[in-house]
Amino acid sequence: MNSPKRLFDKQRIELQFDLAAERYDKLASVQRAMAGDVLQRVVQAELPASTRVVDLGCGTGELLRRLGTAGFSQATGLDLSQKMLDVAARQNPAARFVRGDIESLPLADDSFGLVVSSAAIQWCNAATAASEMFRVLCPGGKAVVGTFADPTLEQWSEAFEQLGLSKRVHPFQSIDQVSQSFDDAGFVNVSSRQVIRSVEFDSVKAMFRSVQRLGAANAMDSRNQRLRRSDYLALVDHFEALLKREGTLGLSYCCVVLEAIKPAS
Ligand SMILES: C[S@@+](CC[C@H](N)C(=O)[O-])C[C@H]1O[C@@H](n2cnc3c(N)ncnc32)[C@H](O)[C@@H]1O
């Protein structure tokens, strides 16, 4: 069963990624690894190089660049953030770019043989994203989608819980919920794999900044999202104590790659 429709604050997401655009590539190690996972699946699928491909939530265009190297010459990148698209266009002069929302794609029905996306649909309602991917794919087309699932950033969730604070951690869906959204959209042969990746930090400041500077703060559509200063300081104390005890601070990311096919007829 899918959870009720989740509402994301698109303006906030756009602003966060606009602000992150120029420094994104230096910080996005986990996202880079996920893009590698997506690319690997695409290469294994042995699709013709002439396949029209769209990267949804293309960000700074690293996956598009790698797809180009793998031979795909007809590529489109789509993103909500114009600043991310500007960086992507610099790195991919041959690709076409469209500013738009994954949940309401400004793209024609049945127009791509391959839809890819990496580290983006966790900012969307997965069911709506899956339906839109289905719509723009040609019959027989393939979707390869990397996303973060629960228990990503579980160390943050645990900290909020232990401190008795109301949770302001991004509500990641489970791998089963994401897969179900693709089944429900009409896809067949839906399969997914997950790997947990950890990033280690030697200071609390570095850990907080890595999440904030990637534009990855919570962007659910609710008002008064800002963390109160007293709550922020309690979190800092919590992680300082953890760092003293463990000698390092880890953040874990549950990286899922899902593959699905739009039936041929
Ligand atoms: C974490 S970045 C990942 C970028 C890139 N795919 C990568 O692997 O590095 C997430 C990207 O998704 C974009 N994004 C988030 N929600 C979106 C939406 N609803 N429609 C289009 N793009 C969206 C953001 O602007 C951002 O560029």
| Stated pTM of the model | 0.91
Q: Is the pLDDT of residue 65 over 50?
A: yes
Which CATH number applies to 10-150+171-198+253-261: 3.30.930.10, 3.40.50.1820, 3.40.50.1010, 3.40.50.150? 3.40.50.150
Say if ligand 1 is within 6 A of residue 13 CB: yes
Say if ligand 1 is within 6 A of residue 35 CB: yes
Q: 136-183, pLDDT tens digit by residue?
A: 999 999 999 999 999 988 888 888 888 888 766 778 899 999 999 999
Q: Which of 123, 125, 199 to mutate to test the pocket of ligand 1 (most atoms within 8 A of CB)?
A: 123
Q: Which residues pair with 199 in a beta bridge?
A: 251
Say if ligand 1 is within 6 A of residue 119 CB: yes
Say if ligand 1 is within 6 A of residue 84 CB: yes
State the Cα–Cα distance between residues 177 and 21, nearest whole angstrom.
30
State the Cα–Cα distance between residues 137 and 83, nearest whole angstrom.
26
